[in-house]
Structure 1
Amino acid sequence: METELNSCLREAVDASLSDAIGGGIRDVYGEDCATEDQLVTPWSRNVACGMELLRDPQYNKGLAFTDKERQNHYLLGLLPPAHLTQDLQVHKVMENIRSYADPLQKYIAIMGLQERNERLFYKVLIDNVEELLPVVYTPTVGEACQKYGAIFQRPHGLYISLKERGKILDCLKNWPEKFVQVIVVTDGERILGLGDLGCQGMGIPVGKLALYTALGGIRASACLPITIDVGTNNETLLNDPFYIGLRQRRATGKEYNDLLHEFMCAVKQAYGEKILIQFEDFANHNAFTLLAKYQKTHLVFNDDIQGTAVVALGGLLAALKVTGGTLADQKFLFLGAGEAGTGIGEMIALEISEQTGIPVEEAREKIWLVDSKGLVVKSRWESLQHFKQNFAHEHEQCKDLLSAVQALKPTILIGTSGQGKTFTKEVIETFTSYNEKPVIFALSNPTSQSECTAEEAYTWSKGQAIFASGSPFDPVTYEGKTFIPGQGNNAYIFPGIGHGVLISGSIRMHNDMLLAAARALAAQVEQEHLHQGLIYPPFKHIRKISANIAVAVAEKAYELGLATKLPKPSNLLKYAESCMYSPNYRNYR
């Protein structure tokens, strides 16, 4: 490579000198000859300096470069003479972002910063997490995925399509960072509550990993977003000239399974046994299968099944501090029987079993599901998908949610349907009539798909509801009292779980580790939060929350014998905090 390069440069210089002697400088690279083919080998220096340094987001500091750094790194004349501290840069960025009225424009602005100045991006995100979380995550990321083709500028992460069959390991080797610890992967078939967005689902892994770094403290260079592109069944995208993915119907069956298996094997071959692979927004029929298939051979985690379940369980454990009673005393009714609903149900059953000692099968009898065909009951067993069958109990059929509420009189109502406005006034009023403190979780994302709004929950329950949603809602004032809606956001959970797995060197994800994470989340909800209507701790403390969750997960990994980082640190919390990424600028020699 180097010999070839030197030869090319030598020829170019010789040609230039020859033309110069002849009376003019010829365009050696043929840039003025539109029809001339150019075969140029791309290469770069190992140490970034000059304009190359300013264009490297990992090391660029913008106007924060000192005079000495500008001198030593060939930046003289490339920057205006002023110096701006990182804090002042944060202030400037936030002023610009706040000037946009459209959330999508805010998303484009903040994600554009990630492409220019990585440390500043994370500093802005950490310092303004409550304001920016709805921008980089739900609900705005949903709109960004829908319009990803139109706003696409630079690639983030790896795109592995059917064209790369047999070459997936080569794709992974092309990623510039060799020490990868966390992968978030999607096939784009079920993005939030928006359906099949194909290759444009990449916005989800990118956003999730930004939160892994900002909230969980995992180094950005150790995070890899990946989209598996097997086509899309979305006709709008297939006919969109700006669509960035394969223009074909989705692959299924053996073709799909073989591609995913090659991917899973290649990841372990490239990054080892302790690489955390998070499945994200796979459709139900693939999500459960992939998790079951690989959880015994890989370190895998499905955020839609397990992450949603853990954050919901954490919220429920906190809500019981208000309602009283135990988890086993409750009767749960879900609207939605997909991966989120059944995942939460399984996690609740596991926790009840842990608390009471009863078998998980018996604990499941406290959990009821309503799907598009009505109440999930034994008489429907043969037609049910396998993940619903555990929750099919003996009962007469109820055709809709309202009749199920009337028949079962549940104490907790949870929405995971992806269908907006399904917790109607009549449903909430009926549910409230059976409960002094009705617990209502409307968890579907984005906001437009939420089963009800915070205002509807508080108003229709006459201010009695203990409410949480998947996407954020503004505070609600009802009869002079202001309620702050809780947000059952997975961002409370997956960054802390990931950090705990990494600091312990765990080689597998165990259900007991997930239960430990839920308890750690609930333990951080204090009485003052409950008085405000909150059943989740304030997000402004998310780095501390994540550290405590990481400790609980790591402790359980050591207890189960799954940890490989030995000896175990004497103070896990101190160790977890010391391992968290800091976005503050570094000084360059």
Structure 2
Amino acid sequence: QFEDFHNSHAYDLLDQYKDKVPCFNDDIQGTASVVVTGMFSAMRALKQQLKDQKVLFLGAGSAATGIAHLIADAMVEEGLTREEALARIKLFDSKGLVAKKRTAPLTPAKMPFAAEDAPAETFLEAIREIKPTAIIGVSAQGGAFTKECLEEMAKINERPIIFALSNPTSKAECTAEEAYTYTDGRCLFACGSPFKPVEYKGKTFVPRQGNNHYVFPGIGLGAIFSRAKLIPNEVFLVAAKVLADMVKPEDLERGSLYPALSEVREISAEIGAAVAGYIFDKNLAEIEKPADLKKAVKDAMWDPKHAHFIQE
């Protein structure tokens, strides 16, 4: 967590060391992987492609820009140019919509997503101007997705994507109940704080957290197992795809964009094997690839059972 050395250093430290030692930043890259998983799951529910979405972020820190870059990577995989992908993603921070014409210079992380102009001074104005299909909150501003914002998203989209990812609960951009109520039960919702199931018009929605603990154990496992020389950014897209594939149709039916957390050990094994496979395929491993990679990775996982060491 390079942010522990202050947020302003997170990207610099990652850029300085990512091509020298096997490291990753969970706030920037792990968060991005889990959020992209949620977007992939939403695409399954909508029967659409990520490249056709327009995404508006509330918040423009290292977590937001990390997520935004990985969404752009996924859009490029689906056929867009990098420029086209970046143009479909916008950031809104404390000064309004992030734009190139600001008086104060933009940080390098924000610059790729800057709009040409930014007349929108409120988040509601930005929604009306950009008409996003998805809003992603990483602002730590409790209640920032207001009733009006949610209703506007429901007006623009048949099934709006609403990700209120800030935690703890007091800092969540909206609650699960607010999201479902103000979008008439039509939204695809993910959260950063835990929320109980929501009953709305006779249907029970089960919101799940887009939490990093879905991916970082598996990513670490795959990297350690393969003795990775480096951990390339593509690994986080690999992890997102594996996690999204583990979301069952019945999960989506209940509004859950992630698998149950009770499955985290199985999830970690699958992600670990996929990450290790990528490391081997890119010749970044310091050991030979085993014949049965999935079994070898699963066998390498720590099992929390201990022998009795107390002498009689």
Return the letter of the residue paired with 2:97.
L
Match of 1:296 in 2: 19
Return the letter of the residue paired with 2:21.
H
Cα drift, residue 353 of structure 1:
1.1
2:48 equivalent among 302, 315, 325 = 325
Q: Is the 8 A contact 1:381 1:389 kept in 2?
A: no
The 3-state SS of whatever aligns with 2:78 is helix
Q: Is the 8 A contact 1:310 1:517 kept in 2?
A: yes
Q: Is the 8 A contact 2:98 2:118 kept in 1?
A: no
How many angstroms apart in 2 are the aligned matches of 1:283 and 1:430? 36
Match of 1:490 in 2: 212
Q: Which of the two has higher C-alpha Rg?
A: 1
The 3-state SS of whatever aligns with 1:333 is strand
- Deviation by residue 1:148-198 (Cα, 9 ceiling, x = unmatched): xxxxxxxxxxxxxxxxxxxxxxxxxxxxxxxxxxxxxx5xxxxxxxxxxxx
Cα drift, residue 576 of structure 1:
1.3
2:109 equivalent among 370, 374, 387 = 387
Match of 2:229 in 1: 507
Return the letter of the residue paired with 1:582.
D
1:430-509 alignment, distance < 5 Å: 430-509=152-231
Match of 1:308 in 2: 31
How many angstroms apart in 1 are the aligned matches of 2:230 and 2:258? 27
The 3-state SS of whatever aligns with 1:516 is helix
Cα drift, residue 459 of structure 1:
0.9
Cα drift, residue 476 of structure 1:
0.7
Cα drift, residue 326 of structure 1:
0.5
Match of 1:569 in 2: 290
- Is residue 340 from structure 1 mapped to residue 63 from structure 2 by the alignment? yes
Cα drift, residue 571 of structure 1:
1.4
- Deviation by residue 1:109-140 (Cα, 9 ceiling, x = unmatched): xxxxxxxxxxxxxxxxxxxxxxxxxxxxxxxx
- Is residue 520 from structure 1 mapped to residue 242 from structure 2 by the alignment? yes
Match of 2:127 in 1: 405
- Using the size of structure 2 for normalisation, the TM-score is 0.96
How many angstroms apart in 1 are the aligned matches of 2:4 and 2:158? 36
Match of 2:91 in 1: 369
1:23-38 alignment, distance < 5 Å: none
Q: Aligned-residue CA RMSD in angstroms?
A: 1.4
How many angstroms apart in 2 are the aligned matches of 1:362 and 1:557? 29
Q: Is the 8 A contact 1:332 1:366 kept in 2?
A: yes
Cα drift, residue 361 of structure 1:
2.9
How many angstroms apart in 2 are the aligned matches of 1:382 and 1:418? 23
- Deviation by residue 1:400-442 (Cα, 9 ceiling, x = unmatched): 1000000111001100111111000000001111111111000
Q: Is the 8 A contact 2:198 2:206 kept in 1?
A: yes
Identity %: 47
1:529 equivalent among 235, 246, 251 = 251
Cα drift, residue 395 of structure 1:
3.4
Q: Is the 8 A contact 1:332 1:413 kept in 2?
A: yes
How many angstroms apart in 2 are the aligned matches of 1:311 and 1:490? 6
Structure 1 gap ranges (5+): 1-185, 187-278
Q: Is the 8 A contact 1:485 1:533 kept in 2?
A: yes
The 3-state SS of whatever aligns with 2:204 is strand
Match of 1:355 in 2: 78
2:275 equivalent among 539, 545, 553 = 553
Match of 2:7 in 1: 284
How many angstroms apart in 2 are the aligned matches of 1:576 and 1:526? 23
Q: Closer, same or farther in 2 for the Cα pair 1:538/1:291, shift >3 Å?
A: same
Q: How many residues align?
A: 310
Q: Is the 8 A contact 1:377 1:397 kept in 2?
A: no
Stretch of structure 1 that moved more, 282-291 or 379-388: 379-388
Return the letter of the residue paired with 1:569.
P
Cα drift, residue 524 of structure 1:
0.5
Match of 2:266 in 1: 544
Cα drift, residue 381 of structure 1:
7.3
How many angstroms apart in 1 are the aligned matches of 2:81 and 2:185? 37
The 3-state SS of whatever aligns with 1:414 is strand
Cα drift, residue 284 of structure 1:
2.6
1:90-239 alignment, distance < 5 Å: none
Cα drift, residue 396 of structure 1:
3.8
Cα drift, residue 380 of structure 1:
1.9
The 3-state SS of whatever aligns with 2:109 is helix
The 3-state SS of whatever aligns with 2:110 is helix
How many angstroms apart in 2 are the aligned matches of 1:447 and 1:323? 28
Cα drift, residue 585 of structure 1:
2.7
How many angstroms apart in 2 are the aligned matches of 1:475 and 1:361? 39
Cα drift, residue 351 of structure 1:
1.2
- Deviation by residue 1:564-585 (Cα, 9 ceiling, x = unmatched): 121x011111111111111123
How many angstroms apart in 2 are the aligned matches of 1:539 and 1:282? 30
